[in-house]
Amino acid sequence: MALKNIVVFLDPSRTGATRARYAVELALRHGSHLIGIFAVPSGWQIDPADSYVRGREAIRRLIERHKAKEIAMSEAASKNFSIATKRADISFEFRIVREIDADDAKLHSLHADLVITGHPPPGGLPSGWSAETLLLATGVPILILPDGWKAGTIAERVLLAWNASRQARRAISDSLPLLTAAQLISVVVVDSAKNPLHGEEPGADVAVYLSRHGANVTVEQIDSNGSSIADVISNYADRNNMDLIVLGAYSHARSREIVFGGVTRSLLKSVTIPILISH
């Protein structure tokens, strides 16, 4: 799979501008068409006084004021995208959807090879949505750019969290264009002795698979020694200057609405580098 269509969810904030620049850089590297989407909020925080507006003219002014807010936010998000794409030699487009038409956002994302959002929520997504919601709705891999990310290298040193699960294998397929373009991939296996799925040489088979795609791969088997798996992954990423974590979303929950397991949720709370999550 090639990354020929990338969707990035935007907002008027500084982190929204960073998200736009990140998406543009990925699109440049992979020759992708980039779609920027801004979800216009469906409701505004109302001044208590507005609850008692009376008269046709007063109501008209209230409506116009809220329309002006929508326009201002849309223009600010569009400006972030325009600045990021100004000198970029890529094809791109900017779309606006209303939060009340959130299914449109699902539709836009469904026709993408990768979706980029922020964290914590909404991260450019419609209110009430999350990366988990979008992943469940579309099946498209999600690249989450934390608000605390310090601009730097992009997908050059990748940590692949490997637990031999179907979800982890799917994450490799979904991120293969990024993996093969990286300078280094570290396949990190935590507590391999506790997982019979790994076989005799944990991580060896996946390393061979990736190397046949031209990737530069190392395998790191790590014992947690009582630490959480999320902490082990996060600490390894920090120590080795990794700039992307790739993992499969796995949950033991019976509800189909719960996709992210404990490791995924803990990582989202702590890491400051992008995470690509697949399911």
Q: Which CATH number does the domain 157-278 belong to among 3.40.1280.10, 3.40.50.620, 3.40.50.1450, 3.40.640.10? A: 3.40.50.620
How many whole angstroms separate alpha carbon 9 and alpha carbon 199? 40
How many whole angstroms separate alpha carbon 140 and alpha carbon 128? 19
Share of the chain above pLDDT 70, in %: 82
| Model-wide pTM > 0.75 | yes
How do the domains of the chain map onto residue ranges?
5-146, 157-278
Fold of the domain built from segment(s) 5-146: Rossmann fold (3.40.50)
From first to last of its 279 residues, the chain has per-residue pLDDT tens of 689 999 999 999 999 999 999 999 999 999 999 999 998 876 555 454 444 545 566 555 655 666 777 788 888 899 999 999 998 999 999 998 877 776 766 666 678 999 999 887 777 877 777 777 777 777 889 999 988 888 888 999 999 999 888 888 999 999 999 999 999 999 999 988 787 777 778 889 999 999 999 999 999 999 989 888 888 999 999 999 999 999 987 544 443 433 455 676 777 777 789 999 887
CB 125 within 8 A of CB 39: yes
Helices H / strands E in the chain, number of each: 8, 10
How many whole angstroms separate alpha carbon 157 and alpha carbon 240? 9
Domains 5-146 and 157-278 fall in the same CATH topology: yes
Instruction: List the structure tokens of 260.
Output: 């992210």
CB 18 within 8 A of CB 150: no
Which residues are registered as beta bridge partners of 276?
Answer: 143, 246
DSSP for 171-211? HHHHHHHHHHHSSEEEEEEESGGG-GGG-SSTTHHHHHHHH
Please state, in angstroms and as integers, the Cα–Cα distance from residue 31 to each residue in 4, 152, 158, 162, following that order.
7, 20, 20, 28
Strand-pair category, 142-146 with 275-278: antiparallel
